[in-house]
Structure 1
Amino acid sequence: MTDNQEFADVKDSFISHLIELRNRLMKASVGILIVFAILLAIPGPSAIYDFLAQPMISALPPGSKLIATGVITPFLVPMKITLLAAFIVALPWVLYQAWAFVAPGLYTHEKRLVAPLVISTSLLFLFGVAFCYFLVFGQVFKFIYNFAPQSISFAPDIENYLDFVMAMCLAFGLTFEVPVVVVVLVRMGVVTVEKLKSIRAYVVVGAFVIAAIVTPPDVMSQLFLAIPLCLLYEIGLLVAPMFVRMTQKPEEAA
């Protein structure tokens, strides 16, 4: 085979991978748009935002509401929330498209790992967001309201509220992915379970440092982030050896 033929083969392979990547991105985007269209109809952007704002409303005095300082903010913010909700609901489909793109290059024993990872990644992220919404927000907003001086009229803007909620949900969603990260690192041979166990003390300290940076300055919300992070790290240490055994090559198992 000549050099020109080899170059042509490499070029064709690269182009085919780009086409496959484009197709997978298109399918993932279409899935998100379909869920977005459904959420626009049922229950609707206003209902979704009212649900998201409920923890803040519950922390305020009866009859209090959030405010909108922009002209089109009451339209844009609920639409952004609906799009974010559509992405979260469609996350398993998006992750499946990512798996389908890389699957042809995986061995049979490696493919056994992908499906559990896609499912666990989706569920853990959803659990993290739900944990933040149902447990953390109530404590955070009560702390902020009670800490505010009496001379201040506390009326949060809906756009600032959206930014805060998105940042918190993302932080907790990613935090709950710790077991997946541990499993992947161990399976790829980047680090061993024994090494991860030996640095457990540093992980605990790092968890509290991350919690202090990400969450508001109240002790309860920091504990709500740091303690699950440490527990999920331990779960990752327990699950990682099982995943390694399940995805071993035949010669490795022998």
Structure 2
Amino acid sequence: MKRTARLLAMLFSAATAALAHGAEVQVAVAANFAGPMQQIAEAFARDTGHKAVLATGATGKFYAQIAHGAPFDVLLAADEETPARLEQEKLAVPGSRFTYATGQLVLWSAKEGVVDGAGRVLQGGNFAHLAIANPKTAPYGAAAVETLAKLKLYDRLQPKLVQGENISQAHQFVATGSAELGFVALSQVSRDGKFTSGSGWIVPAFMHRPIRQDAVLLVKGAANPAARALLAYLRSDTARGIIHSFGYAL
């Protein structure tokens, strides 16, 4: 009896410890959302006991990795098409997809006074390099190309374009001075409605297709309680407050 009691006590103790530490969820995060997601992951761990393990990169590359069996539980994409495609291909849980944020594109320079409030600096063309994310794999890059086409500047400025693998690399090109200007995510250069450095022009929404960013539960995370908890947490007031502070529409 004593041995059984000790065994039950050990099992209860182990279960309690596991519950206290929560579970882990592997999250593929679009590069533009890295900043807010780091803050959300910290709040998520504090409030639920679960741990979100983050990997950031281009949405298009994440799609290829997931299709080849990458062990992600949740995808936070930079578009709405990729999660829908994963759902159609039975790689995501039907009905789990929703828009967690709508991104804003900004033309940005790391230097003060370079970019005016209407983006007229593009018309002048007095710069050697204009950074964008790869439009084939990064929705913000596609939005940048659409904006230049809308302004009838794409053909003229194409020789000056330098492509980053994702929006983080495009931002890095501008931040380090490798490119004088770049189209980046507003979330990368602003907090609470103000630019944190440099100068920028927030591109009007009508100049490109809406950058609706969808989240989806992947098949590999269907039985993971932490994965479902994270998706629910993204809709909480705490998460929405963080998302809004980084310049996203909700």
Would the TM-score normalized by the shorter structure come out above 0.5? no
Q: Tell me the TM-score normalised to structure 1 length.
A: 0.24
- Select the structure that is richer in strand: 2
- Which structure is higher in RCO with an 8 Å CA cutoff and minimum separation 6? 2
Question: Which one has a bigger Cα radius of gyration?
Answer: 1
- Select the structure that is richer in helix: 1
Q: Tell me the TM-score normalised to structure 2 length.
A: 0.24
